[in-house]
Amino acid sequence: MNLLEKMKFSIDTMTMGEKFFASIQVTVLGIVIVFAALAILYFAIIIMEKSINNSQKSTEKAESRPSIDETVDLDYEEVAHREDENIIDDTELVAVITAAIASSFHIPIQDVVIKGIKHIQDPTPIWAKVGRIEQINNML
């Protein structure tokens, strides 16, 4: 007679060894059920993700290109600007921003125009910056 069937009726009549092996069978059965459910959920999520991505790709193809000027007008002398009485050459910054915009809008880099870069001050107080740095250093 199977140990699990014995457990249905009376566990008192089972020996200690039979109880131990029956408990291992129940544990293994529970683990198998949990992993089977997780596998089903995993494949369901993958199928849903693929179907959502396919529908997004079809809608992206239907939409027109984003409204970005189609001429490249990067004058490196114009890119250099004045900040705190010091002249800073931002050619690398312009290149990175141009690449990021082109990548996010899925358009060629030649179609992106950077007309100006405005540096803004970080509104975060110094004590908040120091606190973040300390937290990061404590985690390392």
Based on the fold, state whether residues 70 and 45 are members of the same structural domain. Answer: no
In this structure, the answer to whether residues 56 and 75 fall within a common structural domain is no
CA 68 vs. chain centroid, Å, equals 27
pLDDT of residue 38: 97
Beta strands in the chain (DSSP E): 81-83, 86-88
For residue 131, being part of any structural domain is answered with: no
Asked whether residue 91 falls in the same domain as residue 45, the answer is: no
Residue 15: domain span: 3-62
**The Cα angle at residue 125 between residues 92 and 96, in degrees rounded to 5:** 15
Q: Which tokens in the block code for residue 123?
A: 């509104």
Q: What is the mean pLDDT of residues 98-119?
A: 85
Q: Which residues pair with 1 in a beta bridge?
A: none
Cα–Cα distance measured from residue 117 to residue 102, given in angstroms and rounded to the nearest whole number: 16
Across all residues in the chain, what is the average pLDDT? 77
Long-range interactions of 27-31: CB distance < 8 A, separation 24+: 29/4
Same domain as 88, residue 56: no
- Please report the pLDDT score of residue 123 as a whole number: 85
Interatomic CA distance for residues 75 and 110, integer angstroms? 14
pLDDT for 62 = 53
Could you tell me if 9 and 51 lie in one domain? yes
Considering the domain architecture, whether residues 55 and 75 belong to the same structural domain is answered as: no
Bridge pairing between strands 81-83 and 86-88: antiparallel
* pLDDT 10s digits, 13-67: 778 888 888 889 889 999 999 999 999 999 999 999 888 887 766 666 555 554 5
Has residue 100 got a pLDDT over 70? Answer: yes
* 42 in a structural domain: yes
Considering the domain architecture, whether residues 51 and 96 belong to the same structural domain is answered as no
Do the domain assignments include residue 132? no
In the chain, the amino acid numbered 60 is E
Model confidence at 85: pLDDT above 90: no
Give the model's pLDDT for residue 93.
80
Structure tokens of 16? 């200690």
Mean pLDDT, range 65-87, rounded to an integer: 45
pLDDT tier at 84, thresholds 50, 70, 90: very low
Number of structural domains the chain divides into: 2
Looking at the structure, do residues 74 and 108 belong to the same domain, yes or no?
Answer: yes
Reported as half-sphere exposure (CB side, CA atoms, 13 A), residue 68 has a value of: 20
Please indicate, yes or no, if residue 139 is contained in any of the structural domains: no
